[in-house]
Structure 1
Amino acid sequence: MAEAWEFFSTPRNLDRLTPKSVGFKITHCASETMHQGQIIAYKIKVAPMIWVSWLTEISQVENRVMFVDSQLSGPYKVWHHTHRFQENENGVMMTDDVAYVMPFGILGELVHALFVKRQLTHIFDERRRLVAEVFSAKSASAT
């Protein structure tokens, strides 16, 4: 649990867990360790040559149990992402729970259906793969 928590509570590791195709860049992160109230700024590529700024706050932290990042401004009307950690017989299970609302009413719903839902599925599928890669590499190097 300590190793998993340390990895996920280091904001700069988010870059390692985001597919390169997303065009994700952290533009501001004053602290290398996560804490409640921490502000993190990013840029993401939403289309070729079109970047959107995204500002989030770590709004809640319960050490080695969960943390929440909430959008202050960015591409969504609402973004509330809860990361939960639970030890089990196989190690640690990390669960992402994301609640979001698209902006722009019916136009946002159309963009969601055509693009955003598929993109988010890709991001979290890839994140699952990258997490397994990071932690199996750590396990392999520890033996």
Structure 2
Amino acid sequence: MAKGRFEYKTVIKKDRRLVWDFFSDPANLQKITSFPRVQVIRDSEQEERIKIKLNFFLFRITWYAVITEKRDQDYFIDEGDNLPFPLRHWKHTHQFESSGTGTIMTDKVEYRAFAPDFLVKMMLILMFKSREKKIRSIFRWI
């Protein structure tokens, strides 16, 4: 079983408050994720538990992200619940830091998976690089 940590930094040339507000809305995950296609369903009764449906064309996966910790404009942490195979553990810290005229967003992922570590990291790199491209495009117009 692979156990690892992954970190990815994205520089966004916008004020931290604006960046925080965008990433605090789980629906925006759909806007920044092109593969796999993502559908976010928020339970109004359990605001901190978010249902995520991933569409890989040939198969679909549903899992839950639970916001376990949050500090306004600084960071929030989501942890996976009812994770799909091959994931066994998922903890994702979204950290925001002012830098000059912009914001540095750092994604830190701790995971355990029934998959080789290099495959997990390769998938994370592809996902975050794709998201970075979408984020730059979106924030160009905000």
Instruction: Name the TM-score, length of structure 1 as normaliser.
Output: 0.78
What SS does the aligned partner of 2:141 have?
helix
CA distance in 2, matches of 1:127, 1:53: 20
CA distance in 2, matches of 1:4, 1:81: 17
2:55 paired with 1:41: no
Query: Between Structure 1 and Structure 2, how many residues are aligned?
Result: 124
Shift of residue 53, structure 1, vs aligned partner: 1.1
Gaps of 5+ in 2: 1-15
Question: What is the aligned-residue identity percentage?
Answer: 27
2:62 aligned residue: 53
What SS does the aligned partner of 2:27 have?
helix
Q: Alpha-carbon deviations, 1:3-46, whole Å to 9, x = none?
A: 11110101100101111x312222x2035xxx9x7000111135
Shift of residue 67, structure 1, vs aligned partner: 0.2
Instruction: Name the TM-score, length of structure 2 as normaliser.
Output: 0.78
CA distance in 1, matches of 2:91, 2:64: 12
Q: Alpha-carbon deviations, 1:87-125, whole Å to 9, x = none?
A: 11131111100111103xxxx22xx54x54332211100
CA distance in 1, matches of 2:18, 2:65: 24
2:26 paired with 1:11: yes
Higher relative contact order (CA 8 A, sep 6+): 2
Gaps of 5+ in 1: 139-143
2:29 paired with 1:29: no
* Larger relative strand fraction: 2
CA distance in 1, matches of 2:25, 2:97: 18
* Larger relative helix fraction: 1
Within-5 A mapping of 1:43-122: 43-46=53-56, 48-75=57-84, 76-103=87-114, 108-109=115-116, 113=118, 115-122=119-126
Larger radius of gyration: 1
CA distance in 2, matches of 1:11, 1:57: 11
Amino acid across the alignment from 2:18: E
What RMSD over aligned residues (CA atoms) do the two structures have, in Å?
Answer: 1.9
